Amino acid sequence: MGQLDGKIALVTGAARGIGQAIAVKLASEGADMALCDVQADWLAETAAKVAGLGRKAECIAVDVSKAEQVQAAIERAEKAFGRIDVLVNNAGITRDTFLVRMSEEDWDQVLDINLKGAFLFIKAAARGMMKQRRGAIVNVASIIGLIGNAGQCNYSASKAGLIALTKSVAREFASRGIRANAVAPGFIQTRMTDQLAEEIKNKMLGAIPLGRFGQPEDVANVVTFLASDASSYVTGQVLTICGGMVM
């Protein structure tokens, strides 16, 4: 038996990288999956992996920054599966540059997708979770939301806001049996980070006490714990997944 047998989970940004790893891990633990990304055709690979584990997958195209699309995505997932037990807000982007060069558009896009998107999905999913008096919300933040980083003022603000949102949601919904937690990954190897210069990667590696970069599966394992009943007494917490970069 898996930790999530009989559960229904929705993951945003599920097409690749950390989001795909989370979706596949949740499915491996028994959850049927609502897979969300900005273009549904990007989700084919994730859906195939979920199906290969014997679980159902519903692919949903959604721009997480648009309230009407988010509401439609929740309604479609609930129609397909009857309910949502687990919500993982993973969708996120970067638009890195120093603050004095950062355009208002760069600021708005990052805050809209990384922070507003989570707000919209929580608000839309919470109605059903409150009725069933149970649910687990996991927000994918970043250690940059805890320590900041030069050239990432917009990203760090969005992730810090996501951490604060998580704590407030945890307080608001605890009496309804809904838990909310966040994970804060450090340097995780994905297609995006593979494009960084070797000099930058070597510098970051030197700051990691465990001496290795993280893998998407490292994040997925912690998200699965927070989504499962194994963490039934855990809410309002931020778990860093960074090899010791932040202690």
**Catalytic residue positions?**
155
Residue 20: which H helix or E strand, with range?
helix 17-28
Cβ(118)–Cβ(89) below 8 Å: yes
Cβ(133)–Cβ(177) below 8 Å: yes
The 3-state secondary structure of 190-221 reads CHHHHCCCHHHHHHHHCCCCCCCCECHHHHHH
Pairing of the two strands 135-140 and 32-37: unpaired
E-strand ranges in 107-166 read: 135-140
Helix (H, G, I), strand (E, B) or coil at 181: strand
Report which of 11, 34, 47 is spatially closest to residue 138, judged by C-alpha positions: 11
CA dist 86 and 102 (Å) reads: 35
CA dist 118 and 125 (Å) reads: 10
Cβ(214)–Cβ(239) below 8 Å: no
In degrees and rounded to multiples of 5, residue 200 shows phi and psi of: -65, -45
Dihedral in degrees, nearest 10, Cα atoms 107, 186, 126, 228: 170
